[in-house]
Structure 1
Amino acid sequence: MNQAPMRHTFIVGLTGGIGSGKSAAADMFAQLGAAIVDADAVAHDLTGPGGAAMASIREAFGPALVTPAGALDRTAMRQLAFTDPSARARLEAILHPLIAAEGAARMSAAMAHGAPYVIHAVPLLAESGGARQHMSRILVVDCPEDLQVSRVIARNGLAAEEVRRIMAVQASRAQRLAIADDVIVNDGDLERLRRQVAVLHAKYLEAATKAVFSG
């Protein structure tokens, strides 16, 4: 992750565990005018049919992990990664440099088009130390683990055991909070979440303006 976004870009790294509500928070920041660059969306594009990562993925894992349409078979890869940690490491070695480069390009484009600041949503931000060096602030969306589990069950229909397996390979709640400059506590309703986003949006607008004129 060596490619840096354009100078003076004010970047808020947004992260949180599965089911924390980080996507809902990102949507609210977008409604207020922030540019959103979502690492998951970038990865989805890279591993879609004909995506820039697919040739390397096919070479590394063979055709069994590629759908007939030419995309990554995410279900098969998830099952392989849970049983073979080295497979996950190999996939990350392919994807992370591509995600970093494409994310930086999208952030630079957003600022060039007048975005006041960028929310860079990175689910595994706490796990990837190199990604943090270009962040102006780190925002963690936090909630109790039991609430994470119940939300994912309701949203995706997964069994509780599978949700907890996903959580087990992510950073812990404590590890995420340890890197946070700002925290949104998302254990209530959407209106409470919206109020917290609005407060931080005002703070980030002020900080971004200062960064531009002091750089």
Structure 2
Amino acid sequence: MFSILPLPGHAELRASYFSCHTDNQDDEVFTFSFNLITIDANGMETTYHVNATCSLSLPWSPREVSCEENYMEVSMRSDVSCLSGTTTDAWTAALATAHSAATSTWQVMFQQEGQQLTPMSFSEARELGYVFHLTQGRLVFRSPYTPRSVMGSVSMVNGSLVEVVHPILFSRQRWVVMMVDWIVACSTSKFQ
């Protein structure tokens, strides 16, 4: 997220710990690096190398959600186990679709109320702006936030409108279908 601030000569850059410009060392130390190119009134370009390193002040929660102006992101520990006894009609439908469509390559389905689940490859999801990433110990999903992403829906939660994106990842390994059920929700209100 890049924006020019009202103060002359000041800009703001905000990025996820899991952005493509960030070097991630064991999900603990993050180094963000990029080149800022400015053009003055005479058309002269000047390049500045910007670099920042930070570490977490608190340990990761099992599930972390970030809502930014143009994306929303959820990350969760990769060692989270299955929850037994959480069968719903939506989960049963997702499981049936995954069983019939699963290959050894990871695929994704986006769950939307009233719509049939359609599997797609990660590259197809990437073309729509969705990113899936695996780090040392976390699974990361990033969605465009327009607010109204292609595969999202708007719901009322505790009196607030939220944009919801619900991807389900799946892959078949021999006789077993592995599924990862994610959900990310962010307020549709304008950020201040």
Q: TM-score range by the shorter chain?
A: under 0.3
> Structure 1 or 2: larger strand share?
2
> Structure 1 or 2: larger helix share?
1
TM-score by length of 1: 0.21
Structure with greater Cα Rg: 2
TM-score by length of 2: 0.23
